[in-house]
Amino acid sequence: MAAPRTGTARAGTVAVIGAGFYGATTAQRLAEYDIFDTVVLTDIVEGKPEGLALDINQSRPIEGFETKVVGQTTSRDGEGYEAIVGAAVVVITAGLPRKPGMSRMDLLETNAKIVRQVSENVARHAPDAVLIVVSNPLDEMTALAQLATGFPRQRVMGQAGMLDTARFSHFVAEQLGVPIADVQTLTLGSHGDTMVPVPSACTVGGKPLTELLDQAQVDELVTRTRNGGAEVVALLKTGSAFYAPSAAAARMARAVSEDSGAVLPVCAWVDGEYGIDGVYLGVTAQIGRDGVRAVVERDLTADELTALREAAEAVRAKQADVRDL
């Protein structure tokens, strides 16, 4: 059995709303970091978060972590939300996943109701928290969570870019037969059709990707990355991806909690950067205790910049619609 870390302070509470596949694996990863006092996991299905929390806690002697997981059933009108009081970070995973053949936008109306109601309850009980939204359609749900909480925009962000980037890196490593650690990739834009993989920012062992693969091969990997979520959904048939998504969300929560200043691809409020006004969009941003410290602009080729601006316009129209949902 692994020995728990000794002599290192564990601090703070992080809450995960929604104890489905995504939420439960996120809670597990956060607990296994062994840096938090408490991970709170909630769901509206009676007993589900309590049962999962008990199960994760029983893995503590084997995995060797001290962080405690607290499961709490909540009602739609807010009963049970006292459990998240004091949480510095809240990850919202509540919402339906896709079924084969569905686009993320097909979830818009259903998940908007859920995310609005969850956000209102979070705002009441953890008014100072940084929010990380993962429910789909991601860019729209992030915008909606900000509206529904009334939190400063920098304190609300979405998880998508880290996942899309991880998928891109995996495909590149697989194609070239190189260690994943040698691969750096980047995707910006939306978590959907207007995702913008950025080959000019991709390197393998320090060499530009474009020197190692021809244009057709890069295009193929870009397309597979853009459809990365749908590929998993089609194989699973029930539900969508959660291992890579939860890895990304947990890393974001950790960067907030540790006030690390890490520059990560996230869905953040962009206002002026890249010549884009007022919209939640996938960009690289420096993450700290208060959420997004700053959007970090990258050098893009003219085509990549055009694609990013097109993505911004596509999500802007949809984000305006969420006000009424």
Binds ligand APR (CB under 6 A): choice among 14, 15, 16, 21: 21
The answer to whether residue 39 forms part of the interface with ligand APR (CB under 6 A) is: no
3-class DSSP state of 89 = strand
Binds ligand APR (CB under 6 A): choice among 44, 255, 270, 292: 44
Distances (CA, A) of 34 to 247, 256, 283: 15, 15, 29
Comparing CB distances to ligand APR, the nearer of 20 and 291 is: 20
The answer to whether residue 18 forms part of the interface with ligand APR (CB under 6 A) is: yes
**Residue that has been written with the tokens 């907030």 in this structure:** 256
Binds ligand APR (CB under 6 A): choice among 22, 33, 36, 81: 22
Comparing CB distances to ligand APR, the nearer of 119 and 203 is: 119
From residue 193 to residue 212, what is the string marking binding to ligand APR with x (rule CB under 6 A)?
--------------------
Name the catalytic one among 191, 251, 254, 298: 191
CA-CA distance, 59 to 33, in Å (whole number)?
13
Contact segment (CB under 6 A) with ligand APR among 150-158, 239-247, 253-261, 270-278 equals 239-247
CA-CA distance, 94 to 16, in Å (whole number)?
9
Residue 51, Cβ density class (10 Å: 0-12 exposed, 13-18 middle, ≥19 buried): middle
The answer to whether residue 233 forms part of the interface with ligand APR (CB under 6 A) is: no
Neighbours of 323 (CB within 10 A): 9
- Site for ligand APR, residues 57 to 76, rule: CB under 6 A: 74, 76
Tokens of 214: 């021809």
Comparing CB distances to ligand APR, the nearer of 76 and 207 is: 76
CA-CA distance, 313 to 307, in Å (whole number)?
10
From residue 118 to residue 147, what is the string marking binding to ligand APR with x (rule CB under 6 A)?
x---------------xxx-----------
Q: CA 249, 253, 256, 260 torsion: positive or negative?
A: negative
Strands (E), 193-262: 195-197, 203-204, 207-208
Comparing CB distances to ligand APR, the nearer of 17 and 87 is: 17
* CA contacts within 13 A on the Cβ side of 105: 10
Estimate the crossing angle of helix 228-236 against helix 215-226, to 10 degrees: 60
CB 284 → ligand APR: shortest distance, Å?
21
The answer to whether residue 158 forms part of the interface with ligand APR (CB under 6 A) is: no
Is 191 designated active site? yes
* CA contacts within 13 A on the Cβ side of 140: 25
**Residue positions annotated with a catalytic role:** 191
Question: Which residues contribute to the site for ligand APR (CB under 6 A)?
Answer: 17-23, 43-45, 74, 76, 93-98, 107, 111, 114, 117-118, 134-136, 239-240, 242, 245
